[in-house]
Amino acid sequence: MGEQVRQGSIGVREAGPEDAEFLVDMLLAAFNWTGEERYTRKQILKDKSTSLYVAGWQREGDLGVIAVDLAGPSGLQIPVGAAWVRRFPARNPGFGFVAEDVPELSVAVLSHHRGRGIGSGLIRSLAPRLAGAGITRVSLSVEHGNPARALYERLGFTAVTEQEGATTMVADVNTLIQSVRS
Ligand SMILES: CC(C)(COP(=O)(O)OP(=O)(O)OC[C@H]1O[C@@H](n2cnc3c(N)ncnc32)[C@H](O)[C@@H]1OP(=O)(O)O)[C@@H](O)C(=O)NCCC(=O)NCCS
């Protein structure tokens, strides 16, 4: 299963093409962060402005990590969270687009595993992989009121623009890497 960063009974491995379905689950969790079903799975897959985060996973340049519960039955390693990046062209941007060479980060953890350090751990373990791929900055879009913003700020993201109902944030990959050591 490749390299794993252990965190209690949680491991982290690199995402592969076989994780496409799970990334759809995580994208849905990210869009439905309030806990209400604001979007159905069908809607996020049908609407191009939302499906673009996962469509055709895994494309060239796509990079992600999956948190797995290492204590699954019969040695099964069950995915519990994911963080991944994808670049977008200016003509077809994501909600947190800042530039074509700045990929956008998506992250989510299954609801009953939140608040245990898994989300931060995912972003931290993604950071050196981003650096290895020559990525120097990442962006994201976080809706107003989402407590995830505090986590992003803690890791070194700063707000760059405001949209209606959401903030676009950017982090230097080096800052994310340093947050591992601090
Ligand atoms: C945001 C998210 C990925 C963070 O993962 P996590 O494993 O809960 O995060 P950690 O345990 O590493 O860090 C917890 C921090 O995340 C934030 N957070 C966001 N939602 C949270 C939740 N439901 N429960 C606990 N913490 C949450 C808090 O600010 C918390 O900060 P604190 O430790 O200073 O209190 C996860 O909570 C999640 O999947 N939320 C719903 C989807 C979402 O909002 N995705 C991001 C869209 S921009």
Which class in CATH covers the domain with range 10-181? alpha beta
Read off the amino acid at residue 6: R
Domain spans of the chain?
10-181
Model pLDDT, residue 1 = 36
Q: Would you say the CB of residue 28 lies under 6 angstroms from ligand 1?
A: no
Taking each helix axis as running N to C, give the angle between helix 148-155 and helix 118-132, from 0 to 180 degrees, rounded to the nearest 10: 40
Provide the 3-class DSSP secondary structure of residue 155. helix
Does the Cβ of 150 fall within 6 Å of ligand 1?
A: yes
- Sign, Cα dihedral of 32, 37, 41, 43: negative
- Residues facing residue 141 across a β-bridge: 168
Supply the residue whose CA is at minimum distance from atom 12 of ligand 1: 117
Q: Counting atoms of ligand 1 from 1, which one is nearest the CA of 142?
A: 48
Task: Write the residue with the smallest CA distance to atom 27 of ligand 1.
Answer: 115
Is 136 buried (19+), middle (13-18) or exposed (0-12) by CB count in 10 A? exposed
Residue 107: CB within 6 Å of ligand 1?
yes
Distance of CA 182 to the CA centre of its chain: 21
**Parallel, antiparallel or unpaired: strands 10-14 and 63-69:** antiparallel
Is 86 in a helix, a strand, or coil?
strand
142 lines ligand 1 (CB under 6 A): yes
Q: What is the mean pLDDT of residues 15-32?
A: 98
**Cβ of 145 less than 6 Å from ligand 1:** no
Verify whether ligand 1 is closer than 6 Å to residue 119 (CB atom).
yes
User: Could you report the per-residue pLDDT of 86-134, keeping only the tens digit for each?
Assistant: 999 999 999 999 999 999 999 999 999 999 999 999 999 999 999 999 9
Express each pLDDT in 30-79 by its tens digit: 999 999 999 999 999 999 999 999 999 999 999 999 999 998 788 889 99
Model confidence, pTM: 0.94
Q: What is the pLDDT of residue 45?
A: 98
- Neighbouring CB atoms inside 10 A of 146's CB total 16
Nearest to 14, CA basis, from 59, 64, 62: 64
